[in-house]
Structure 1
Amino acid sequence: MTALDFIALFIFIGSWVGYTQFARIKAKTTPCLSRCLHQHRILWMRHIFDHDIRVSDAAMIANLDRHVAFFASSTMLVLAGVLTLFTQVDNVSAMLSAIPYATDKSPILIQIKLSLLVLIFVLAFFQFTWSMRQYGFVNIMMGAAPFAEKTQNKNLIDYAKQMAVVQDQAGHAYNYGLRSYYFALAALCWFYHPVLFIISSLMVVYVLYYREFKSRALRAIKAGINNLEEDFSDLFPEVDIK
């Protein structure tokens, strides 16, 4: 590996870890997708007590879980494909040699780059499966929630907030798994040139930031919470969604 390869790898890891920490801290004080969705989840879980039959709620949780399961199974297939490439390193090297301006095609460097992809998708698989388990936990908590229409019982309200927290954690794990796919696409650029690897890593950070903090979807979700806030403050004055 050249010095440029080490710099590119350092920027890649720094971009991933740095953005994760930045988004986590900024979400505490700035409207973003995770913050606004948390408010919606609190309102959703508060509604759980108002009806005894919760088939629709369980179906919505199952629908969320189904998306995660799809990515978890897809990750295993991708992992199998990447591991297979370890037996075809010479063919990969020959393919890269046919690409103009591609950098070092040595088998050892190709194996290092493939190892990075394997690590990324292993991390993604752990995140997706953890998300699936947590959605299962939410289902259990919903099943245990009593029927108490228009309740103002503080313990039940706190229970609703904890259900929203568990659902939040499932959503975060799913988001981290998807983020692994984004950075895996950036890592593919390393096979071509480390400079492109650096550029793609920074572009992924920009895309993630824009979608989390500046997207049109965020504006719509935030407007929805603002429109409902007054109505829900009348219906559920005991619930703090901030």
Structure 2
Amino acid sequence: MGLTDLDLVAFGFFLVAWGGYHLAVERFGPARASLNTRMADYRRAWMDQLLARENRIVDATIMGSLQSGAAFFASTSLFAVGGVFALLQATETALVLFADLPFGIETTRAAFEAKVGGLGVIFVYAFFKYAWSYRLFNYAAILVGAIPQDVSDPGTAAARARAAQMTIVAGRHFNRGQRAFFFALAYLGWFVSPWVLIVATTAVLVVMAHRQFGSDALAALDVEKHPSP
């Protein structure tokens, strides 16, 4: 295929970084302190507040906004997939371009096409995540509509829990799609050299980890504990 040992090491590092970040944010201990997990609690709080509102236009507006975001990124993913096919058709031109870049290294056609194929897989994965997220937000909207107006109804608590959990699952898949976009940016470094892939992956990993565990957005959730002067 024309890939060197360093290429394989760099690609392995890329996969380990992506998988490790996924586990840290969604599975292992650090996940409990992540921004995504904290926002899941506020999704449940949203449904608690919904029960107190007789008019749920606000909730319908929020749900529509969430669906629109997922639809936008799903469409963007399709454009990105189209760009991958266009890049495959311009392989010869791209090979010359990347070879002329500073620190760029010459590569074979097979290796370049393999890298482009990997990029296409990432964008297809992102599309499926965004499209599924859009569908799940659609289901969540239906579940919200199914929550009884009467809070004394014995089925209200379960209906509220179902709607909240569906929005959490939809948000989780949306986050996975965004994660794929961010790592796709790092993946582009591979077209320059394996070392650039390693550096770019590390940079993306650091930025994303900071946003989840140390960003001002996370601090905003604790503003009642530590109010600004």
Same fold (TM over 0.5): yes
Verify the 8 A CA contact 2:24 2:30 in the aligned structure 1.
no
3-12 vs 21-30, which moves further? 21-30
State the alpha-carbon separation in 2 of the partners of residues 30 and 141 from structure 1: 26
5+ long unaligned stretches in structure 2: none
**CA distance 1:202–1:29, change in 2 (3 Å):** closer
- Give the TM-score taking structure 1 as reference length: 0.87
Instruction: Find the counterpart in structure 1 of residue 182 from structure 2.
Output: 182
2:13 counterpart of 1:11 = yes
Give the residue type in structure 2 aligned to 1:221.
L
Distance 1:10 1:31 in 2: 27
**8 Å contact 1:41–1:164 — kept in the other structure?**
yes
**Contact kept? 1:128, 1:173, Cα under 8 Å:** yes
Post-superposition CA distance 1:197-224 (Å, at most 9, x none): 0111122111111101111110112335
1:11-90 equivalences under 5 Å are 11-26=13-28, 30-90=32-92
What's the offset of the Cα at 1:38? Answer: 1.4
Letter in 2 for 1:115: G
1:184 is displaced (CA, Å) by 0.5
**Distance in 2 between residues matched to 1:210 and 1:161, nearest whole Å:** 30
Please tell me whether the aligned partners of residues 27 and 34 of structure 1 are also in contact (alpha carbons under 8 angstroms).
Answer: no
Q: Aligned-residue CA RMSD in angstroms?
A: 1.8
User: C-alpha distance in 1, partners of 2:55/2:17?
Assistant: 46
1:111 corresponds to which of 95, 110, 113: 113
- Closer, same or farther in 2 for the Cα pair 1:181/1:100, shift >3 Å? same
CA contact (8 A) 1:45 1:160 kept: yes
Amino acid at match of 1:30: R
- The structural deviation recorded for 1:35 is 1.9
Aligned position for 2:148: 146
Whole-Å separation in 2 of the counterparts to 1:176 and 1:104: 33
Change (3 A) 1:34 1:76: same
Matches within 5 A, 1:88-167: 88-149=90-151, 151=152, 155-167=155-167
Count of aligned positions: 224
Alignment CA distance shift 1:211-1:77 (3 Å): same
The answer (yes or no) to whether the contact 1:50–1:148 under 8 Å persists in 2 is no
Q: What is the alpha-carbon distance in structure 2 between the residues aligned to residue 97 and residue 29 of structure 1?
A: 41
Identity of aligned residues (%): 28
Aligned residue number for residue 220 of structure 2 = 220
Higher relative contact order (CA 8 A, sep 6+): 1
